[in-house]
Amino acid sequence: MPGIVIDGRELEAEGGQTVMQVALAHDIPIPAFCWHPALSIAGNCRVCMVEVEGRGLALACNLPIYDGLKVHTDTEAVRNQRKLTLQFLTLNHPVDCGICDKAGECLLQDYHYAHNGSPSTSIDPKVHATKHYSLGSRIVLDNERCILCSRCVRFTREVSGSNVLGIKHRGDTSLVRPAEGRSLDDDPYSDNVIDICPVGALLSRAFLHQSRVWYLTTTPSVCPGCARGCTIDVWHRKPEWRLQAVATHRNHTIARVTPHENPAVNGPWICNKGRDLAALVERPRALEPMVKGEVVAMDQALEAARQAIAGAQRPLALVSSWGSNEELDAFKEHLAPRFSCAVKEDHRQQPNEPGDDHLLLRADKNPNTTRARALFGETPAAVPEGTDLVLVWGEGFDFDTIPDGVATIVLGAFDAPENGLAAVFVPLSIHTERAGHFTNFEGVVSAFAPCFPPPATVADAETVFPQLAPQGATS
Amino acid sequence: MSPRPPRRDYWNEPTLGWWERAYIFEIIRGLLTTNRVFWRNMGRWMTGRKGAVTSYYPEERRPDYARGNRGKHVLTQRPDGRPQCIACNMCATVCPAHCIEIEAGFDIEDTTHPKYPEAFAIDYARCIFCGFCVEACPEDAIRMVPDVPNLPGSDRHNMWLDKEHLMTWNPQQDVAKPYPPKGGLQK
Ligand code: SF4
Ligand code: SF4
Ligand code: SF4
Ligand code: SF4
Ligand code: FES
């Protein structure tokens, strides 16, 4: 193992590592635009210069370590070089941070505050380029802000494999552009380029000017979009920035979703469906408990359901594959003894949706099929003969397959015509309102936390199941 | 506990003689003053003149606000009447009372000004008139002018000035600080 010295600290490193990797592992800050831990080394931004004893300045990101290497990250020469590099990068940069969604989490901004602090010295007018170039239905590109680090290009080549992006022309007329006849819409992972772009050149249309990032905070969560169960950060408004007069819906809606780096599941990426979590969970809700279509109090609804369950001869339960491990365990403990149980596929792969692929996406569009299958049986082809009560938990069930005259108890979060037809309907909280764990298709368990308080009239499935158990009436 | 600092001598330290200490005479003197002012104002009021310095707000406004009074926010306008504001939220962020709320809009046709405030509101129940918002604005888009908002109300949650209200100021007629500034906007 080669021993190297960075800023006077003797560090142990592994052969084949670069100075940048060793520094990162030991929390020594070296600025980097083009280098990204999950991408190949481009070495084009020149901001990572460090001083090598006896050799002068060198790029930290593509300098392999060797025994006896001595590196300094903060000498006069390094500071000066960083300053010059940053001035060069901003020669044609519009510095329109006031209207840039990246402001607040932009590397160019951060490095300027840390390492430069002086305005451009150029006397030439800035070169102008396309301000809003459409890269498909999800992303717009601001070529003036682009610093040509090529992270986005390398992402589509090396990670997503779609090869959509490239850089054309030369010098100060260089432009990031999609390949002829291609669009980023072809790439189900395209939105990752928004995160990895070190500046505000690649902008999400969905998040465009929706909020300044410092008004937002994150809650760790798990994407329920498929059996991969990627760990994500759900961004929503900070409590101290609650809106009172303008656009108050922002207080309780998802602002955006970004990956939460997790080597065991998704690495630093997620797919575009994960970004669209709002579309999955912010659908019209079912908020009122109902008995035969009549709105009642939660106690009455639970009592009616309990009686129906206690009185049934051959009840069938269709268990949600969107339930958390805790909810599934609660169901197993309290209700499974009364029912014959089967796991239901809440969401199915849509015709235009990708199935299993090389990176993350899975054809099973439910987050917890693994745990549900481990506890309960397979999905039945049809409702068995002689069933006199069907309990449906979650979505995705075709009520037409129930024979006439069989009563239903429905537990769900979203508005659906079947809710009113059921003998009892119990409204449940949604993914962003409850805590729990999902087990992904490889058996990795990830936790999610609530982002928003649930509406007062809905219940958590975990607390509902014990109350529905027949012995609950006597205890 | 640290010892108490010695009491300071003030230039207007009250000195009480035996007359003041006797209390009853001074109380009578105070009541006489109150009565004198009351009856004087009452007499003027009954004869149709104005008595006390009280102004009958909101029907009436004091004409003698200090020259430095900056009691009301305005949003400056571009020559075409659209707001100069770029909805950058610097003012809302710096505001110590957290009383500015902005909803940004996007207009791709307006190439030099694609981001604008769709809604802009200031809560006058919470604004402390510190002027930080004016200082923070990179676009000279928000100013405070010598005026007071006409906002009497009985509900503290209903004291928001909205964008329409903030845009009623006609900058071309403000001789003290015209808008756009003389010599045009800085490029
Ligand atoms: S768009 Fe962003 S990620 Fe792509 S080259 Fe430009 S600065 Fe880099
Ligand atoms: S791959 Fe699956 S779990 Fe991961 S973000 Fe996409 S839909 Fe969600
Ligand atoms: S004057 Fe001060 S308190 Fe009032 S809106 Fe401006 S920044 Fe906020
Ligand atoms: S600081 Fe100025 S430009 Fe920015 S949002 Fe406030 S008023 Fe508008
Ligand atoms: S990070 Fe090393 S050159 Fe860009």
Separation in Å, CA of A66 to nearest CA in chain B = 48
**B108: which chain A residues are within 8 Å (Cβ-Cβ)?**
132
- Kindly list the distances between the CA atom of residue B93 and the CA atoms of A214, B89, B131, B187, in Å, as whole numbers in the listed order: 9, 6, 13, 25
Region A227-238 average pLDDT: 97
Ligand nearest to the CA of B123: 3
Q: Do A98 and B86 touch (CB under 8 A)?
A: yes
pLDDT (0 to 100) of residue A86: 94
Burial of A86 (C-beta count, 10 Å sphere; 0-12/13-18/19+): buried
* CB-count burial class (<10 Å; 0-12, 13-18, 19+) for A406: middle
Chain B CA closest to residue A131 = B111
**What average pLDDT does the segment A400-415 reach?**
92
- Whether the CA torsion A313, A318, A320, A324 is positive or negative: it is positive
pLDDT of residue A405: 85
Instruction: Name the region of A161 (left: φ>0; alpha: ψ -120 to 50; beta: rest).
Output: left
* Higher pLDDT, residue A385 or A240: A240
Residues of A in contact with B119 (CB under 8 A): 246-247
Q: What is the DSSP letter of A107?
A: H
Nearest CA to A282 out of A159, A451, A465 is that of: A451
pLDDT for B125 equals 92
**Ranges of chain B with pLDDT below 70:** 1-3, 5, 8, 53, 58, 169-187
ipTM, two decimals = 0.89
Question: What are the residues whose beta carbons fall under 8 Å from the beta carbon of A178, sequence distance 6 or more?
Answer: A135, A136, A164, A165, A166, A184
Interval between CA A165 and ligand 5 midpoint (Å): 20
Please tell me which of the candidates B88, B103, B160 has its beta carbon nearest to residue A98: B88
A101 Cβ contact partners less than 8 Å away, ≥ 6 residues apart: A200, A203, A204, A207, A208, A209, A210, A213
The count of CB pairs under 8 A between chains A and B is 47
Give the C-alpha separation, A397 to A322, whole Å.
Answer: 13
d(CA A152, CA A195) in angstroms, rounded, equals 10
Nearest to A246 among B90, B103, B115 (CB): B103
Provide the pLDDT for residue B158: 87
Which two three-digit tokens encode residue B108?
A: 């791709």
Q: Alpha-carbon distance A226 to A210, whole Å?
A: 27
Q: Does the CB atom of residue A46 touch ligand 5 within 6 A?
A: yes
In contact, A338 and A309? CB cutoff 8 Å:
yes
Burial class (CB in 10 A: 0-12, 13-18, 19+), A212: buried
H or E segment to which residue A427 belongs: strand A424-427
The answer on pLDDT for A317 being more than 80 is yes
Of how many residues is chain A composed? 475
Residue B187's pLDDT is: 46
Tell how far the Cα of A93 is from the centroid of ligand 5, in angstroms: 18
Does the Cβ of A317 fall within 6 Å of ligand 1?
no
Distance from CA of B175 to the nearest CA of A (A): 29
Is A210 in contact with B87 (Cβ distance < 8 A)?
A: no
Pairwise CB contact (< 8 Å): A99 & B114: yes
Question: Residue A244: its chain B contacts at CB < 8 A?
Answer: 101, 123, 157
* pLDDT of A475: 39
**Residue A272: what pLDDT?**
97
**Dist. CA A423–CA A414, nearest whole Å:** 17
Which ligand is the nearest neighbour of the Cα of B90? 4
- pLDDT for residue A29: 95
pLDDT the model gives residue A336: 92
What is the residue with the minimal CA distance to atom 6 of ligand 2? Answer: A271
Contact between chains at A99 and B98 (C-beta distance less than 8 A): no
Atom in ligand 5 nearest the alpha carbon of residue A31? 1
Tallying the residues shown for chain B, one arrives at 187
Nearest to A246 among B90, B102, B111 (CB): B102
Q: For residue B111, which residues of chain A lie inside 8 Å, CB to CB? A: 131
For residue A383, the model assigns a pLDDT of 79
Confidence of residue A421 (pLDDT cuts 50, 70, 90): very high
Per-residue pLDDT, A474: 42
CA distances for A300 relative to A291, A305, A315, A331, angstroms:
8, 9, 21, 20
CB neighbour class for A375 (10 Å; exposed up to 12, middle 13-18, buried from 19): middle
CA of A126 to the centre of ligand 1 (A): 18
**Closest CA relative to residue B98, chosen from B135, B134, B128:** B128
* Nearest atom in ligand 2 to A277's CA: 8
User: Å from B119 to nearest chain A CA?
Assistant: 7
Instruction: List residues in chain B touching A: CB distance below 8 A.
Output: 86-90, 93, 98, 101-106, 108, 111, 114-115, 119-121, 123, 138-139, 157, 160, 162
Chain A positions contacting chain B at CB under 8 Å are 97-99, 131-132, 208-210, 212, 214-215, 240-241, 243-247
Confidence of residue A473 (pLDDT cuts 50, 70, 90): very low
| A440 pLDDT higher than 90 | yes
Question: How far apart are the C-alpha atoms of A60 and A46, rounded to whole Å?
Answer: 9
User: Pick from B119, B139, B157: which is nearest to A246 by CB?
Assistant: B119
Q: Which residues of chain A make contact with B160, given a CB cutoff of 8 A?
A: 245
Using a CB-CB distance cutoff of 8 angstroms, which residues of chain A are in contact with residue B162? Answer: 245
The distance from CA B181 to its chain's CA centroid, rounded to whole angstroms, is 24
Nearest to B119 among A99, A214, A247 (CB): A247
Kindly determine whether residue A244 and residue B123, on different chains, have CB atoms separated by under 8 Å. Answer: yes
Q: Which helix (H) or strand (E) holds A236?
A: strand A231-237
Ligand 3 pocket check for B131: Cβ under 6 Å = yes
Indicate which ligand has the atom closest to the C-alpha of B166. 4
**Percent of chain A scored above 70 by pLDDT?**
98
pLDDT score of A403:
85
Average pLDDT of the segment spanning A356-366: 96
Whether A245 sits inside 8 A of B123 (CB atoms) is yes
Cβ proximity of A187 and A164 under 8 Å: yes
What is the C-alpha separation between A440 and A227, in angstroms, rounded?
5
In the three-class reduction of DSSP (H, G, I as helix; E, B as strand; rest coil), residue A62 is classed as coil
Task: Assess whether pLDDT exceeds 70 at residue A235.
Answer: yes
pLDDT of residue B181: 61
pLDDT band, very low/low/confident/very high, at A380 (cuts 50, 70, 90): low
**Own/partner pairs for B42-49, CB < 8 Å, 24+ apart?**
none
Question: What pLDDT digit, counting tens, does each position of A182-206 carry?
Answer: 999 999 999 999 999 999 999 999 9
The pLDDT assigned to B170 comes to 63
Which residue has its alpha carbon closest to ligand 2 atom 1?
A361
b/e for A252-272, b at 16 or more Cβ within 10 A? bbbbbbbbbebeebbbbbbbb
CB A220 within 8 A of CB A436: no
- Residue A395: per-residue pLDDT: 94
Best of B84, B85, B86, B89 to mutate (most A CBs within 10 Å, chain A): B89
What b/e string do you get for A55-83 counting C-beta neighbours within 10 Å, with b at 16 or more? eeebbbbbbebeeebebbbeeeebeebbe
CB–CB contact B101 A243 (8 Å): yes
Identity of the amino acid at A354: P
Q: Residues A121-175: pLDDT tens digits?
A: 788 899 999 999 999 999 999 999 999 999 999 999 999 999 999 999 998 899 9
Q: CA–CA separation, A302 vs A96, rounded Å? A: 57
Q: Which residues of A touch B104 (CB under 8 A)?
A: 209-210
Q: Which atom of ligand 4 is nearest to the CA of B139?
A: 3
